[in-house]
Amino acid sequence: MYDSVLRRLFFLLPPDVAHATALAALAPAEHWGWVRRAVRAALSETRDERLIVRALGLEFPSPIGLAGGFDKEAQRPRALAALGFGHLELGTVTARPQTANPRPNLFRLPADRALINRLGFPNGGAQRVAARVRSARAEIPVPTGISIGKSRVVPIDDVEAVVADYMAAFDAVSDAADFVVANVSSPNTTGLRAMQGREHARALLGALAARRKDSTRLLVKIAPDLDDAQIEDLLAVVEEVGIDGVVATNTTVSREGLSTPDPRVRAIGAGGLSGPPLRARSLQVVRRVRARLGRKVVVVGVGGVENAEHAMALVRGGADLVQMYTGFIYGGPSTPSRIARDLAKMVERAGVPNIAALVGVG
């Protein structure tokens, strides 16, 4: 139904309008428990023991999660969990409220089933979003994380100010979330990716790691555009300061290998590219993270996931958990439940007791 009718209707709308409309359509499921139960029944969602992932001291009913960026303001976590996601990453939020970058700031590339965005962390501020998560938390049945980023007004060349800004966001959300993701890799906040350099990363991640309480799980989200040496430097910091996990990867600034005509791509301009064109590089980075850090950290693979085969490739590459965003936009609301069912069949065919047995084996 979604592919044949609803997606065509949604894709007649500008991308940002379509996104707002989709969030509005989820309102009944967000606010009424009986609607959520009906949604789960319609999607044939059932708990499958073979898909349970135990990581970060949490139990994930399936490895398929929603990536940061879809629900930036934590408006629909209960509804999104009802669609079959095994975890949610909400945000990215910043210590200070800020608006989106100037429109247009979100673009579809249908020929590549991809998106380009340069939204730039629009949100009402970490305290406001955290309060919304706290109020809904008892009714969100899956682990829920919040991504934090740098406020736009904080100059990137003042590292102390940047660290203080992240710390303020961290303090606001840490008791509302099951895990916190430090987003240092968005291409849409000027200069932010400099925080992935060894010294800047040590200053920021070390401060956040020292600040957390015993129950706070801290992850870092990294860019796909780092070269091997840069990845190794950043992972050395992750190991040194004791970060709990790595999310690999964020969107890319690369435009290589696209089917969309070059004039259209050039006309869109700057922004982070997500979807299938990112898939191969995300898998490479997941493999490198796992090879470098072994089982010391949880690895979350994200980039171009559209079906169970893509998700399983990341799992076999070393990902404990998998996230999707663009594939959800193109695939529709049944996508997470469909992928979970297909993953269960793949686990059965592999002859192993659960999906965790396949992490890093391919």
Task: Report, as residue numbers or ranges, the catalytic residues.
Answer: 186
Strand 114-117 and strand 106-109: the pairing is: antiparallel
Token match 């406020």: residue? 151
CA distances from 61 to 5, 29, 203, 219, 348 (A): 30, 20, 35, 20, 17
Determine the Cα–Cα distance for residues 236 and 249; give it in Å rounded to an integer.
17
Nearest one of 305, 286, 317 to 114, comparing CA atoms? 305
CA distances from 73 to 61, 129, 142, 324 (A): 24, 6, 18, 18
Determine the Cα–Cα distance for residues 324 and 170; give it in Å rounded to an integer.
24
Helix axes 159-173, 198-211, angle to 10 degrees: 30
Residues forming beta bridges with residue 321, ordered by sequence position? 300
CA distances from 256 to 42, 112, 118, 119, 284 (A): 40, 12, 18, 22, 16
Determine the Cα–Cα distance for residues 210 and 206; give it in Å rounded to an integer.
6
